[in-house]
Each structure stands twice: as C-alpha cells, then as structure tokens.
Amino acid sequence: MDGGNIMDLFHRGRPVRVCAPMVRYSKLAFRCLVRKYDCDVCFTPMIIAADFMRSIKARDSEFTTSKTDRPLIVQFAAKDAQTLADAACVVSPFSDGVDLNCGCPQRWAVSEGYGACLINKPELVKDMVRHVRNQIDNPNYTVSIKIRIHKDLRKTVDLCQKVEAAGVSWITVHGRTADERHQPVHYDAIKTIKDSLSIPVIANGDIKSMQDVEAVYELTGVDGVMAARGLLANPAMFAGYEETPLQCVWDWVDIAVEHGTPFTCFHHHLIYMLECISSQPERRVFNSLSSTSAVVDFLHSTYGSL
C-alpha cells in the first residue's frame, strides 16, 4: 500500500477496517499491533495543527511513524485553512492522508474553536478541505473529515454535501450528537448521510466485534467501519477474535518493548486487553504492578507463554 492509492481499499467489496484516532493510545506501537490483526487503515491521535507548526519539539513528540506504518492518516485539529494546509504539507511525505477533526466534543476543544463546533461552520470546513487539496501535489493523497451529527440531520447532510463538492475524499460519521456520550448510536442517521453522498462514508461508534461490523454494514451500507474502544479492549477484533487472544497479548509485549513504549502506556493497554479475560482478583493485582518485568512475570505465571 505504501505510496499507493488508499481509495483502492474502498473497492474490495467489504467494509474497510479502521483504527480510530485516540488520544494517548493510537500511537505507533499500538498501530503496529492492530495492523498484525487485519486493520486496514490507522489514524494518529489528534494533533493540534497550530502547535505542530509552532514547535519542532511538538512535531517530534506528536508524530512518529515507520516504513511499515501505512496506510496512515494523520488527524489534525485546526480552525484556519492555511495552518491545516501547512501541517498537511509537513506530514504528507510520511502518510497517506490527513483528516480534520470535526467531532471532538470536549469543552476545551470547542472553546478553542476546534472539534465538534466545526460542524456548524460548513464554509470554513470547505475552505480547509480546499486549501489542503490545492497545496498537496500528490493527487492520491486523501483529505477527509470526521464529524458528529446535528440534532437536525438536514444540517449534517448539508455540511457533508458541501464538503463533498469541495473535494473531500471520504467522511467518517460518529453517529452521536456532540452532547451525547453513551447513548445508542444513531445508525439510521449514518445511513441517511451515506445515501445522500457519492463519496465513501465510514461509520464510527460502539463497534466492538466483527458481528457489529457486519450488522452496521448491513444497516447503513457504509464503505468502512472505525473502532476505538473496541480495539483497545481487543486489538485482534478485526481478525474475528471474540476476545483478545494470548498471542496478541504477547505480541503487544514484544512491540512495546521494541518501541520503548513508556510503562504507563504499555500497562494501560494491557489493562484494557485483559479486562474480559481475567478475574477481578487477577485484575486487582495486575493493575497495581509498576514495572515491565513484574508485568511479564505476571503474564507468564497467570496465562503461561504461548
């Protein structure tokens, strides 16, 4: 896929499987893990474009990748077109596309003019998409957006049709409004959006298994599915596993050690992965461990090696 056209993935006759942008979690090491288990496309965590352009330190800490880390989409938070286009130009040699976050509902983001408030600024979003399109030479480089829905779905459809006209490559729809957290996902809304566009649409929200992938695909007719917490709990989900297989746990240990993943991040991922396959007393012990060697010893004694 490296250097190829990511849009070809949408013509395989099955939904494209995507790892969501996740703050602290969808970093290089975790992307390597999910790619081993049939994930087609990975997103970086959301990066604030203005900070990224302002500081070399921010660029080095926020964006790490490798030759095998493809197809890769870099997600930015931005509120003006030139800053987004500048950031896209910096990452374009090392990635397959950029995505504009129009869905983050957190108060800090919205108060800064980022994230979910952008769904109410269709002209600005159009302008941002167009700027990136015009300033990246590679015609195969994608420009996408990730949105939440409005209470009045006509506004969402209008936004999507406007950005489609501006040249957006695809749209990811999290089927909740900015105010909704754990309420059921509005798959009917995702279907309505899909039916009103001719570009690919990716469904996001509460996808925890391959059964969910199939069900959402049947319900909505989307071109892809994006998972976040489902993949944290089971990074092998897209390969059809019901719960995290032991092989995947040990793969994570190897990959994290190889990448020098900080202990807290390494440990947090394992807490998520082991949640469904461990007992409460085991979890209590595991959650209190404070070194990589203690974690490896615990895994060997509790689950055995492969």
Q: Are 257 and 222 in contact (CB under 8 A)?
A: no
| 104 catalytically annotated | yes
Sequence-separated (6 or more) residues with CB below 8 Å from residue 3:
none
Distance between CA 253 and CA 165 in Å, rounded? 45
Distance between CA 167 and CA 165 in Å, rounded? 5
Q: Which pLDDT score, from 0 to 100, does residue 163 have?
A: 98
Q: Which pLDDT score, from 0 to 100, does residue 2 have?
A: 46
- Mean pLDDT, residues 187-200 taken together: 98
Is 23 flagged in the annotation as binding? yes
Q: Which pLDDT score, from 0 to 100, does residue 24 have?
A: 93
Q: Which two tokens stand for residue 88?
A: 């896209």
Q: What digits encode the pLDDT tens for the residues 103-133?
A: 999 999 999 999 999 999 999 999 999 999 9
Is 22 flagged in the annotation as binding? yes
Sequence-separated (6 or more) residues with CB below 8 Å from residue 15:
213, 216, 217, 222, 223, 224, 225
Q: What digits encode the pLDDT tens for the residues 24-63?
A: 999 999 999 999 999 999 999 999 999 999 999 889 989 9
Distance between CA 299 and CA 249 in Å, rounded? 9
Is 157 flagged in the annotation as binding? no
Q: Which two tokens stand for residue 102?
A: 């129009």
Q: Which pLDDT score, from 0 to 100, does residue 58 have?
A: 87
Is 229 flagged in the annotation as binding? yes
pLDDT at 173 over 50: yes
Q: What digits encode the pLDDT tens for the residues 253-306?
A: 999 999 999 999 999 999 999 999 999 999 999 999 999 999 999 999 999 877
pLDDT at 165 over 90: yes
Q: Which pLDDT score, from 0 to 100, does residue 304 have?
A: 86
Q: Which pLDDT score, from 0 to 100, does residue 4 have?
A: 66
Structure confidence at residue 96 as a pLDDT band (50, 70, 90) = very high
% pLDDT > 70, the chain? 98
Q: Residue 190: CA atoms inside 13 Å, Cβ hemisphere, count?
A: 30
Catalytic residue among 102, 104, 117, 160: 104
Q: What is the mean pLDDT of the chain?
A: 96
Phi, then psi, of 187 in degrees rounded to 5: -65, -30
Phi, then psi, of 73 in degrees rounded to 5: -110, 130
Q: What digits encode the pLDDT tens for the residues 131-161?
A: 999 999 999 999 999 999 999 999 999 999 9
Is 225 flagged in the annotation as binding? no
Distance between CA 146 and CA 205 in Å, rounded? 12
Q: Which pLDDT score, from 0 to 100, does residue 305 have?
A: 78
Distance between CA 306 and CA 303 in Å, rounded? 9
Structure confidence at residue 184 as a pLDDT band (50, 70, 90) = very high
Phi, then psi, of 180 in degrees rounded to 5: -90, 140
Distance between CA 167 and CA 43 in Å, rounded? 20
Q: What digits encode the pLDDT tens for the residues 224-263?
A: 999 999 999 999 999 999 999 999 999 999 999 999 999 9
Q: Which pLDDT score, from 0 to 100, does residue 1 have?
A: 41
